[in-house]
Amino acid sequence: MGDHLKRHHIALRAGTAVAAVTSLLALSACGARVGEETSAASESCVDVSGDSIKIGFINSLSGTMAISETTVNDVLHLAADEINEAGGVNGYELEVVEEDGASEPATFAERSQRLIAQECVAAVFGGWTSASRQAMLPVFEGNNSLLFYPTQYEGLEASDNIFYTGATTNQQIIPALDYLLEEEEVESLYLVGSDYVFPRTANMIIKQWADENDVEILGEDYTPLGSTDFTTIANQISRSGADAVFNTLNGDSNVAFFRQYNSLGLSAETMPVISVSIAEEEVDGIGASNLEGQLTSWNYYQTLDTPENEAFVEAFQEEYGASRVTSDVMQSAYNSLYLWKAMVEEADSFAVDDIRDVADGISFDAPEGTVTIDGETQHVTKTPRIGRINADGLIDTIWEGELTEPDPFLETYSWADEEEAEEFAEEAGEGDDADEGSDD
């Protein structure tokens, strides 16, 4: 009996040892593989021996974000075609490799890894939601590769491996607030948003700004993404008597919100709504009649009267049909390809480090006006523009700010509480990690 126990014990120990050795072996194998990967990545596999160069587009061509992101994909192709027709980049023809992010952050990460490591693209263009950008960020940093991200977003980020060609908060949200204060003389605001990272960060900044400027925040409501019932919120807004509503709702919720807002007799005259995620593309689905007279804050509108924009809109409609419209994010995506081209030509190289070295001050005469890269944050300069939605569903500029340097961390604003912002950014990051975990 005793012997038996002892033998059992030994057998167990031997088993443990075997397990330990196996796992060690496995670990070392893992380590080796990781090492190989990093070394392979640091000397990038981009092939410059032929007469064409590969670039990657990653957009959601399926899933809930496809509505918005396919338009960006269209315009990226337009830019690539234009560049190829004009002789390519540094004599190389662009060869586009396309991936579908499928509206899933995890898919964005995996597909961008494929673009970089297997397709060996020189740069990747795309992404829309902050969740997709945050999921791709470690992939691009780990491979020292380049992502061009075209969407306006909540700021508080600057990665060496991302060029941000959309607006950050000080180029969209703060100008919208300044406009409301100076031109509409609002003294109170009501905040409505979808319940995720962008609206909550935006509203945190709005509240700090309001403190500084003695504007009263009369209410702050969030609804789940895709929510269709705004009866209670519309009631509360109506009863609050606020001077204006700041709207950070996303997607289809806007339709329900504006229909129910209007049906209570509220309108642009009685209580204007300023929106930061409704552009020309969305107006059609919401119904121009539900939106007429309401305000938006962007850097670009299809109606902008510049020769660059005229050519851009004409080229886009020729390619995709006269009924199609152009929007801010589309335009930023279009610019991103040209900015990359300008950097490559300046650096005379496709290498990421060389591009980064020349980035500061590179500019492009974009449809929205000349945009220039700030080398430190890798964001671009933008002109804030407040627009009013007209009966045709297009947006007319009614106010234009100064050309604004990007300031993603709001360092130049005394009222911005840095600690709160950092804490918030961290929490948001953690929250997204948790989301990704559940996606797996």
Partner 1 sequence: MDFVLPQLVAGLSVGSILLLAAIGLSLTFGQMGVINMAHGEFIMVGAYTAFVTQGVLGHAGLSLLVSIPVAFVVGGALGLVLEQTLIRHMYHRPLDTLLATFGVGLILQQVARDLFGAPAVDVQTPSWLRGSVEILGTAVPWSRIFILGLVILVVAGLSALLAYTSLGRRIRATVLNRDLAETSGISTRRTDRLTFFVGSGLAGIAGVTVTLIGSTSPTIGQSYIVDAFLVVVAGGIGKIKGAVIAAFSLGLLQAFIEYSTTASIAKFLVLVIVVAFLQFRPQGLFSVRTRSLA
Footprint on this chain of partner 1 (rule: CB under 8 A): 64, 66-67, 70, 195, 221-224, 226-229, 231-233, 235-236, 238-239, 252, 254-256, 259-260, 262-265, 281-282, 284-290
Crossing angle of helices 105-117 and 418-439, in 10° steps, is 80
Q: In this structure, are residues 197 and 154 in contact, taking their beta carbons and an 8 Å threshold?
A: yes
Nearest approach in angstroms of CB 281 to partner 1 is 7
Query: Who contacts 105 (Cβ-Cβ below 8 Å, separation ≥6)?
Result: 129, 131, 132, 134, 135, 432, 435, 436, 439
String of DSSP letters for 360-428: TT-EEEETTEEEEEETTTTEE-B--EEEEE-TTS-EEEEEE---B---TT-TT-TTS-HHHHHHHHHHH
DSSP designation for 195: S
Nearer to partner 1, 99 or 282 (CB): 282
Nearer to partner 1, 320 or 413 (CB): 320
Nearest approach in angstroms of CB 254 to partner 1 is 8
Nearer to partner 1, 284 or 439 (CB): 284
Nearest approach in angstroms of CB 256 to partner 1 is 4
Nearer to partner 1, 190 or 350 (CB): 190
SS3 3: helix
Nearer to partner 1, 179 or 258 (CB): 258
Closest residue by Cα to residue 387 from 183, 155, 199: 183
Nearer to partner 1, 67 or 425 (CB): 67
| CB burial of residue 130 (10 Å; 0-12, 13-18, 19+) | buried
Q: In this structure, are residues 117 and 88 in contact, taking their beta carbons and an 8 Å threshold?
A: no
Nearer to partner 1, 58 or 176 (CB): 58
The Cα–Cα gap between 379 and 155 comes to: 10
Closest residue by Cα to residue 381 from 367, 369, 397: 369
Nearest approach in angstroms of CB 192 to partner 1 is 10
First to last CA, the chain: 48
Closest residue by Cα to residue 140 from 168, 164, 117, 106: 117
Nearer to partner 1, 64 or 397 (CB): 64
Nearest approach in angstroms of CB 68 to partner 1 is 8
Q: In this structure, are residues 133 and 127 in contact, taking their beta carbons and an 8 Å threshold?
A: yes
The Cα–Cα gap between 84 and 225 comes to: 39
Nearer to partner 1, 167 or 325 (CB): 325
Nearest approach in angstroms of CB 408 to partner 1 is 28
The Cα–Cα gap between 426 and 424 comes to: 5
Which amino acid type is present at position 39? S
Which ranges of 86-196 would DSSP assign to H, the alpha helix? 105-117, 130-143, 169-182
Nearest approach in angstroms of CB 147 to partner 1 is 24
Nearer to partner 1, 38 or 231 (CB): 231
Nearest approach in angstroms of CB 204 to partner 1 is 16
Nearest approach in angstroms of CB 287 to partner 1 is 4
Which amino acid type is present at position 377? T
Nearest approach in angstroms of CB 264 to partner 1 is 5
Nearest approach in angstroms of CB 233 to partner 1 is 7
Nearer to partner 1, 16 or 263 (CB): 263
Query: Who contacts 93 (Cβ-Cβ below 8 Å, separation ≥6)?
Result: 51, 52, 53, 84
